Amino acid sequence: LGSTVYIVDSMSGFGAIPVSLRNGHITYIISSANKCIEGIPGFAFVICKRKHLLTCQGQARSLALDLYDQYTYMEQSKQFRFTPPTHVILAFKRALDELEQEGGVEGRAKRYQTNNKFIREKMQELGFVELIKPEYQTYIITSFYYPPAPFQFQTFYNKLSDKHQLIYPGKTTETDCFRIGNIGRLFENDMETLATCIKEVCQEMNIDLPLKSNIKQ
């Protein structure tokens, strides 16, 4: 790759999707304390090639996000440049311990894969159609097309929330679809509860099941 700098945004994958910094020719990989690590939100971190980082002095466009200054300051003082998120760091340490106890990245990936497989099968039984073709699907999050009328997403979302089931409140594409996450401290029984509640909500909305849709992947 020569002098190419390869930066990987792994906010929603690090800790559950295997990645090799060496074989992937990664210069910087960025993630956060929550998501697949299962800590709490509060700080991001970067794993990088130190040799390249040391060439970046004075290049930051942000005071707070100056990675070079943060690294050199921490090496000298063993402190954050600004007030450290102590409670988040303690939770992060606990989360890393639990990740190791679960069998590392492979162990956590297995649980997420189980969650994903279960909810996809249950949603297919109800007639929901996945946005992403199976061969391109990952096990972090799954998107489903909106069913035909009388489905209304906000009503669907609110009724699930009333049953203590929270899915993503919005979408990231122009396509009418909703997303279900498979990560966090969730297990197969949690996905079963969600699937049951989705069925109940559809019935409450007078949506015939299984769904009849002309949508094709």
Cβ 179 vs Cβ 171: under 8 Å: yes
pLDDT in tens, 95-147: 999 999 999 999 999 999 999 999 999 999 999 999 999 999 999 999 999 99
Residue 154: how many other CB atoms lie within 10 Å? 8
pLDDT value of position 6: 95
pTM of the predicted model as reported, rounded to 2 decimal places: 0.91
Quick one: fold of 104-204? Answer: Aspartate Aminotransferase, domain 1 (3.90.1150)
Mutual orientation of helices 188-204 and 153-162 as an angle, nearest 10°? 120
Determine the CATH number of domain 7-101: 3.40.640.10
Residue spans of the domains in the chain: they are 7-101, 104-204
Kindly list the distances between the CA atom of residue 160 and the CA atoms of 10, 97, 129, 187, in Å, as whole numbers in the listed order.
29, 32, 19, 18
pLDDT in tens, 146-186: 999 899 999 999 999 999 999 998 777 889 999 999 999 99
